[in-house]
Amino acid sequence: MKNNDRVNDKRKIMSNQTFEKQVNSASSNIEVPSFKERAHDALQDKKLQQALSVIPSGFVSKRAKAKAALPAFSDLSDQAVRIKNHTLANIEKYLEQFEAEVQNSGGQLHFAPEPQDALDIINEICSKKDAKFIAKGKTMVGEEIGLTHFLEEQGYETVETDLGEYLIQLRGEMPSHIIAPAVHLTRDNIRKDFLNTHKHLSKDRNLETPADFVKEARLILREKFINADVGITGANFLIAETGSSVIVTNEGNGDLCQSLPKTHIVIASLEKLVPTLKDTSVLLRLLARSATGQSISTYTTFATGPKREEDTSGPEEFHIVLLDNGRSKMLGSEFAEMLRCIRCGACLNHCPVYQNLGGHAYGTVYPGPMGAVLSPHYFGEKAKDLPFASSFCGRCNEVCPMQIPLTKLMRKLREQPLNKRPPFAKATMFLWSQIAKRPKLYNFAMKAGLPFLSLASKQNWLMSIVPGVKDWQKHRALPEMTSTSFQTAWLKKEMKRKKRAQKKAKEQNNEQ
């Protein structure tokens, strides 16, 4: 039962907005579980573990193949870093150009310093258009500000049209992966949700193969596209020289969202800006290969302004809502490099912590190494323990096409005052540092302690009498240890060697 409550709590922290509302309203005593607690739950969840087991064979191996098939990959990656660094260094200029170009092509650019601004702007557009139905493409920035939930609250019938997003919308969950939001679900989960939601369909219908599910979702969602008054999409890139927004999808849902309804709203954050179309081509080559291991996603679409006068179809209005929400602060800080992120998800897929826990354990919409750096910036206090959700193995640094030093940034976050270590840990570290600075004392301590550790590595219960290691020991066993330290053993050997050398020298002397 307690477990269930925790799962519900997890759902409640769907996003910044909903979370804050929860906390503010009735000052309820919902306690947000810590990363540690959520991680514990995730490891116990057999269904989740089953769902996660496909990640290494899927994303990881496919990415390796796709990268190997493109000899220029690392050159392109170097160039991509230059593109983003250059853009960020000249962000004011490119923002100005982007704004002018959006207006030139007949679109409108709205600035949203804070999440609430973005929500208000979108609400205003929708209410002006007298919208009832809204079809939403997948947008992580939308997730970040709790857009869908907000629109539903305002009374718009809002449907997520990316299949993964739709699946989690049915469950009231947040995405567990930035490019595969429903990666934590198995067919059993989905079957239950479909039977509960699509009640007008026959109860005995076949829901076995993935194709069965996809077919049903296609049928249901098609109607939503066709009836939508407003389509909302995210953006993978915003191009300054043309005022375009670019989306990348495999399903084509984003394209229907932005071609059928009369109004198209793009919600995107400021670091999506790139100077030119040419730059976009460079980044596109890295994105899909790093994300799903495809050489390119099925659909990449550039939207510029509303429909032209001579066009027979297309949206009549085109809005771009540009969100800051903490990004400008990052820009001026030592975390600026994080703004290069193109949200491919490679760091999630390759992270041993993510692979074992899935995304929900992180408690925010951005999980994995990238989330461990971003979430504390966007969500503050409640994501403060995420920089500790890493073993610092460094695979994330290696696979990042934008060469973001993720572990370095996590380490910096760990040092921040927000992340004060508990007094006991602090005292222990202090004591250790004092001993380590004094070689004689250190050697003495090792000599004294090792026989005990050696015994404890064979008799695990012995560790339980040492204060402070209980938690550590829960999931780990001591490696088997010898009772002497390397230094002692080496010294012994060295003495023997010297003795032998002396003996030899003596013998030689005698012979002479």
Contacts (Cβ under 8 Å, ≥6 apart) of 445: 435
Q: Output the smallest distance, CB 411 to other proteins, in A.
A: 16
**Binding marks (x or -) toward other proteins, 465..484, rule CB under 8 A?**
--------------------
User: Per rule CB under 8 A, is residue 120 in the interface with other proteins?
Assistant: yes
- List binders of other proteins among 138-167 (CB under 8 A): 161-164, 167
User: Per rule CB under 8 A, is residue 418 in the interface with other proteins?
Assistant: yes
- List binders of other proteins among 259-288 (CB under 8 A): 259-260, 270, 277-278, 281-282, 284-285
User: Per rule CB under 8 A, is residue 297 in the interface with other proteins?
Assistant: yes
Nearer to other proteins, 92 or 130 (CB): 92
Q: How far apart are CA 288 and CA 379, in angstroms?
A: 28
Which region, judged by CB under 8 A, interacts with other proteins, from 289-297, 340-348, 351-359, 439-447? 289-297
CB 320 within 8 A of CB 108: yes
CB 159 within 8 A of CB 337: no
Using DSSP's 3-state secondary structure scheme, residue 74 falls into helix
Q: How far apart are CA 51 and CA 31, in angstroms?
A: 27
Kindly state the number of chain residues that form the binding site for other proteins, as judged by CB under 8 A: 108
Nearer to other proteins, 303 or 372 (CB): 303
User: Per rule CB under 8 A, is residue 347 in the interface with other proteins?
Assistant: no
User: Per rule CB under 8 A, is residue 213 in the interface with other proteins?
Assistant: yes
Q: Which of 82, 192, 438, 497 binds other proteins (CB under 8 A)?
A: 82
Kindly state the tokens that stand for 376.
Answer: 């504390």
Taken in order 156, 159, 165, 170, the sign of the CA dihedral is positive
CB 402 within 8 A of CB 409: no
User: Per rule CB under 8 A, is residue 30 in the interface with other proteins?
Assistant: no
Q: Output the smallest distance, CB 305 to other proteins, in A.
A: 6
Nearer to other proteins, 185 or 456 (CB): 185
Using DSSP's 3-state secondary structure scheme, residue 323 falls into strand
CB 99 within 8 A of CB 107: no
Residue 182 DSSP code: T
Which region, judged by CB under 8 A, interacts with other proteins, from 258-266, 364-372, 468-476, 499-507? 258-266
Q: Which of 43, 60, 81, 481 binds other proteins (CB under 8 A)?
A: 81
Kindly state the tokens that stand for 61.
Answer: 């191996």
Q: How far apart are CA 351 and CA 371, in angstroms?
A: 12
User: Per rule CB under 8 A, is residue 388 in the interface with other proteins?
Assistant: no
User: Per rule CB under 8 A, is residue 215 in the interface with other proteins?
Assistant: yes
Q: How far apart are CA 184 and CA 192, in angstroms?
A: 15
User: Per rule CB under 8 A, is residue 9 in the interface with other proteins?
Assistant: no
